[in-house]
Amino acid sequence: MPSVPAPRFYRTSAFRLALLYTVVFGASVLVLLGVIYGSILAVVDRQTSENIDAEIRGLAEQYRDEGLTRLVAILGERSGGVGARNNVYLLVDPDFRRVAGNLMEWPSAAGLEGGWVDLELGTVESGDTTVHAVRARTFILPGGYRLLIGRDMREQARLREIVLESLAWAMAGALALGLAVGFLMSRNLLRRVEEISATVHRTMRGDLSQRVPTDESGDEFDRLAKALNQMLDQIEQLMTGMRAVTDSLGHDLRSPLTHLKGRIEMALRGQPDVAAYRTALDQAIADVDGILAIFNALMSVAMAEAGVGRAEMSEVDVAKIGRDTVELYEPLAEEKGQRLSFSAQAPALVRGHPQLLAQAVANLLDNAVKYAPEGSDVSMTVSSDERRVHLDVYDSGPGVLAEDRTRVLGRFVRLDNSLGKAGSGLGLSLVASVAKLHGAVLTLGDNAPGLRVTLSFPVGTRAH
């Protein structure tokens, strides 16, 4: 399988996410800085207007209390060398002739009525004329005199430039920070995604031992990695089981198929004899029955593992299934001189698949009768409590060693003490699959001597 090239950075969802994050972050910062800029300008303009208003009120009081001479003197001081360079003053008489101040004439834009006005005035500095904005207010004094007081807005304009430049740098820094954070986030996101993608592609190439790295952070990627690893564990287990089934199936079917072919060939090569043909056919049917039994057992195991019977589950009485199974095996036990007993606390209701449960219980009892010696005791009990229903099968056979109790639940597994006895090694495998389908716990224990097998079903709950 060809290797999959790494995605280009700008085509990844991580990059798009980082870009979207940067745009949203930049827009938010832009709105915030715009509000700050507007607030600063409003404060500066309000302060300028308040200063002009305060000065007009003060000069009007001077004119009212001490007359025109005092007002002219004050304007001369404030507009002369000791005054502020950025202040604009002009006092004119009723005929608009200049009386005092640092303006030569009444600006036409100031109008005849009192109020606020924005002017553009020119000043000569070093032989060059510079036009600059002035914020002013005109005021009509008693006697028809008019007073104009203004502030040169060059310092305010410079302040605006400084604030705007500072905000621009802040905006640039915020965008740079947003891009850096977004890049780091997207790089980490892309790294985690590429780890998962690489693991998946190595698994697709046949390496089922691959697992997604985890960092135990508990975040969504760590949880996803753990879920994927559990899935890969299950896939590896199923693939290993499938290989084992394939190998074991080929091994277990080779002998009956070879015997079947040999018997048919021997019957065909011999002299025509109806009795011989009938014997050969009877033996062939027995071999085919054995092969079909293996296939049926495999189908039952596969159906249980795939959860096919989950939709057909209903309320089932385990005690009734146990009693019917014991009655079915009583003739076989009597042939071996075994004492088969059954006791139950009826009813013992669970939610389950009747056919699969009956087959699993039959497999347990079949193993017990098969491996228990002649004249021994075989028993089955069904008990229940508030939470679970327990089905126990006891025998006094060779039992299963503790180290083999997990392995014996696999497919086609036959221990040394089972060699020479009929069977395919699928009985306990089917029981384990049915137990898993029903959310039951399968336990193999020591009956001293013999084996004790326990199926413990949940009460009143659905299977997992």
- Reduced to 3 DSSP states, what percent helix, strand and coil does the chain have, rounded to the nearest 5? 60, 20, 25
Q: Above 60 in pLDDT, residue 159? A: yes
Mean pLDDT to the nearest integer, 393-409: 81
Q: Which residue has the higher pLDDT, 457 or 83?
A: 457
The two structure tokens encoding residue 449 = 């001597």
Mean pLDDT to the nearest integer, 262-278: 78
Q: Which residue has the higher pLDDT, 314 or 4?
A: 314
Specify the range with the lowest mean pLDDT, choosing from 295-299, 314-318, 453-457: 295-299
Q: Above 60 in pLDDT, residue 292? A: yes
Residue 4 has a pLDDT of 45
The domain segmentation of the chain, as residue ranges, is 211-292, 308-458
- CB burial class (10 A; 0-12, 13-18, 19+) of residue 46? exposed
Fold of 308-458: Heat Shock Protein 90 (3.30.565)
Residue 391 has a pLDDT of 93
Specify the range with the lowest mean pLDDT, choosing from 44-58, 196-210, 219-233, 290-304: 290-304
Residue 456 has a pLDDT of 92
**What is the C-alpha separation between 432 and 399, in angstroms, rounded?**
17
Percent of the chain residues topping a pLDDT of 90: 8
Q: Give 88-112 pLDDT, tens digit per residue.
A: 888 888 888 888 888 888 887 777 7
Residue 219 has a pLDDT of 78
**What is the C-alpha separation between 64 and 75, in angstroms, rounded?**
15
Taken in order 52, 54, 57, 60, the sign of the CA dihedral is negative
Residue 299 has a pLDDT of 65
For the CA atoms of 155, 159, 160, 163, the dihedral, rounded to the nearest 10 degrees, stands at 170
Q: Which residue has the higher pLDDT, 128 or 392?
A: 392
Stretch (H or E) spanning 99: strand 98-101
Buried b (16+ CB within 10 A) or exposed e, 195-214: eeebbeebbeeeebebbbeb
